[in-house]
């Protein structure tokens, strides 16, 4: 079966490995403009491979470290959702990096990092983060790219969110109050400002004047908030636009070009499955698509380009903010998990709620994401426990159920069914060989693997990049899938 590519390409674009300007399959015509006949089979063989990293719980699973470790095998790391409400912590040789917008691949030499169109970008926060990375010796210029289609967070988004979150009678979601939700609202309402618009100063000025007039009226009427100054805002963001411009491009073209040239891409998720706007514990969720499907709409690659989904789960469970948490432990055991796991938000510093691994939730997450592999993080946090409770099922009104409720109120009726697993009472911190784990720890991982329905391919035994166990089969498949051109 044969087809023709009818798209035009930029001058530096390669089509099926033929550089622009060179002769293509049709004699006498350049790859820039020709209708290149190409075998679909050949195209499939030459395309690069991809993997999606997704949080399998309520976020904070340690995705930053995992992306950093795995990015060694990938040419590109692309962030596809969320904003600077995400906090990915990476520790390299004892040095700590907290990334909020910039993908963790930026910490790997030779790896390009992309902020996709599904992300909402706070220009001031981005420039601050980029500046801090430069000061720490990280090479970002020429390695970091921002989508021209990403939407922009402006001060009135923060004003609206902060006022709404604290308004009397409102359901408190527990947001970071950084303007993420209102920015997505404007995006879906088709009144948002995109990065491409940010760089168009005439359009930027007009947009800010109109939006500030409207937002000031709304905020004053609903929340009695002090008005924002449109002229001051324009001056600040026009200056920011000039500094951001070198990073901006059509990242969908960049990513698809990389795939067509056989490069491997790792998609970096933010938050977690149970915070997804559609599939999470609504309304106690984030404002974007945090599941693996978000990688497609948030970057501009095709659905059939996704080869593997890697779900990240702690060996226990945590949640930040309000909302359902069936396996939460509000007692001393939960406090101990928080202390040993240093469970405080990387962005906000808020103490996380803690509890036990929830297998029904993990199975639900696996179904939604199509999880191929599981990565278990913070195994070492359980080292001191003689017994480890695990939620193996739910009961509602005394009857067993496997359903995850659609309504947040439905979780109030859930009773967790726990099974206690033997602890190992010895340190696993820093272990890098699976066989050196205590037998009880290996039994715990095997139990999770069997019940979750996905193989455990990687275990994190500490905060540092090197505190990692990689299972041979996972490494073999990853190297095959992520082989660089």
Stronger pLDDT, 91 or 457, i.e. the higher one: 457
Q: Stretch 452-467: mean pLDDT, rounded?
A: 94
Q: How confident is the model at residue 95 (pLDDT cuts 50, 70, 90)?
A: confident
By percentage, how much of the chain surpasses pLDDT 70? 86
Structure confidence at residue 346 (pLDDT) = 65
Q: How confident is the model at residue 12 (pLDDT cuts 50, 70, 90)?
A: very low
70, 186, 444, 465, 469 from 432: Cα distances, Å? 15, 46, 17, 11, 5
Cα 264 to chain center, whole Å?
A: 18
Q: How confident is the model at residue 170 (pLDDT cuts 50, 70, 90)?
A: low
Q: How confident is the model at residue 6 (pLDDT cuts 50, 70, 90)?
A: very low
Residue 215 CA to residue 162 CA, distance in Å, equals 13
Please list the active-site residues.
60, 88
169, 285, 324 from 294: Cα distances, Å? 32, 15, 23
Structure confidence at residue 290 (pLDDT) = 96
Q: How confident is the model at residue 28 (pLDDT cuts 50, 70, 90)?
A: very low
> Beta 95-99 vs 144-147: how paired, if at all?
unpaired
**347 pLDDT above the threshold of 80:** no
pLDDT in tens, 199-217: 999 999 999 999 999 998 8
Look-up: residue for tokens 């359903």?
403
**175 pLDDT above the threshold of 80:** no
**333 pLDDT above the threshold of 80:** yes
Give the CA-trace dihedral at 101, 310, 442, 417, to 10 degrees.
Answer: 90
Structure confidence at residue 22 (pLDDT) = 39
Structure confidence at residue 371 (pLDDT) = 97
**69 pLDDT above the threshold of 60:** yes
DSSP per position, 162-230? HHHHTSTTPPP-----SSHHHHHHHHHTT---BHHHHT-HHHHHHHHHHHHHHHHHHHHHHH-PPPP-H
Residue 353: both structure tokens together: 């709620």
226, 299, 347 from 87: Cα distances, Å? 30, 20, 5
Structure confidence at residue 171 (pLDDT) = 64
Q: Model-level pTM?
A: 0.85
Structure confidence at residue 366 (pLDDT) = 97
Residue 437: both structure tokens together: 């784990």
Q: Is 174 within 8 Å of 320 (Cβ atoms)? A: yes
Q: Stretch 363-385: mean pLDDT, rounded?
A: 97
Structure confidence at residue 168 (pLDDT) = 64
């Amino acid at each position: 079966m044969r087809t023709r590519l009818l798209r035009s390409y930029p001058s530096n674009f390669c089509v099926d490995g033929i550089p622009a300007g060179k002769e293509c399959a049709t004699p006498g015509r350049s790859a820039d403009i020709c209708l290149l006949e190409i075998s679909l089979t050949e195209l499939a063989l030459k395309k690069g491979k991809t993997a999606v990293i997704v949080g399998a719980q309520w976020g904070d699973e340690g995705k930053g470290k995992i992306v950093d470790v795995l990015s060694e095998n990938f040419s590109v790391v692309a962030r596809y959702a969320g904003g600077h409400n995400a906090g990915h912590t990476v520790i390299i040789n004892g040095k700590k990096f907290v990334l909020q917008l910039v993908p963790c691949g930026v910490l790997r030499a030779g790896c390009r990092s992309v902020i996709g169109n599904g992300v909402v970008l706070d220009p001031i926060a981005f420039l601050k983060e980029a500046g801090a990375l430069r000061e720490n010796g990280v090479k970002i210029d020429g390695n970091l790219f921002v989508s021209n289609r990403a939407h922009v967070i402006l001060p009135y988004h923060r004003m609206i969110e902060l006022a709404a979150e604290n308004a009397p009678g409102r359901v408190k979601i527990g947001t970071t109050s950084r303007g993420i939700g209102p920015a997505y609202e404007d995006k879906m309402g088709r009144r948002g400002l995109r990065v491409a618009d940010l760089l168009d100063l005439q359009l930027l000025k007009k947009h800010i004047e109109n939006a500030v007039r409207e937002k000031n009226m709304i905020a004053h009427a609903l929340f009695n908030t002090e008005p924002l100054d449109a002229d001051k805002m324009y001056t600040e963001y026009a200056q920011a636009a000039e500094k951001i411009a070198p990073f901006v491009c059509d990242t969908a073209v960049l990513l698809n070009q990389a795939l067509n040239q056989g490069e491997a891409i790792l998609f970096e998720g933010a938050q977690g499955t149970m915070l997804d706007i559609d599939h999470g514990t609504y309304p106690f969720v984030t404002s974007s698509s945090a599941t693996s499907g978000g990688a497609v709409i948030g970057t501009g690659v095709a659905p059939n380009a996704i080869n593997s989904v890697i779900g990240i789960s702690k060996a226990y469970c945590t949640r930040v903010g309000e909302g359902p948490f069936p396996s939460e432990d509000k007692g001393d055991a939960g406090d101990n998990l928080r202390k040993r796991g240093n469970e405080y938000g990387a962005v906000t510093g808020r103490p996380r709620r803690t509890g036990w691994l929830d297998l029904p939730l993990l199975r639900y997450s696996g179904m939604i994401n199509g999880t191929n592999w599981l990565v278990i993080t913070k195994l070492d946090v359980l080292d001191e426990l003689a017994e480890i409770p695990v939620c193996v099922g739910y009961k509602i009104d005394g009857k067993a159920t496997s359903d995850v409720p659609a309504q947040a109120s439905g979780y109030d009726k859930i009773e967790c069914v726990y099974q206690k697993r033997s602890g190992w009472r010895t340190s696993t911190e820093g272990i890098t060989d699976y066989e050196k784990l205590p037998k009880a720890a290996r039994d715990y991982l095997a139990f999770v693997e069997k019940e979750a329905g996905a193989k455990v391919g990687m275990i994190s035994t500490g905060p540092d990049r090197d505190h990692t166990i990689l299972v041979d089969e996972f490494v073999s498949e990853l190297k095959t899938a992520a082989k660089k051109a």
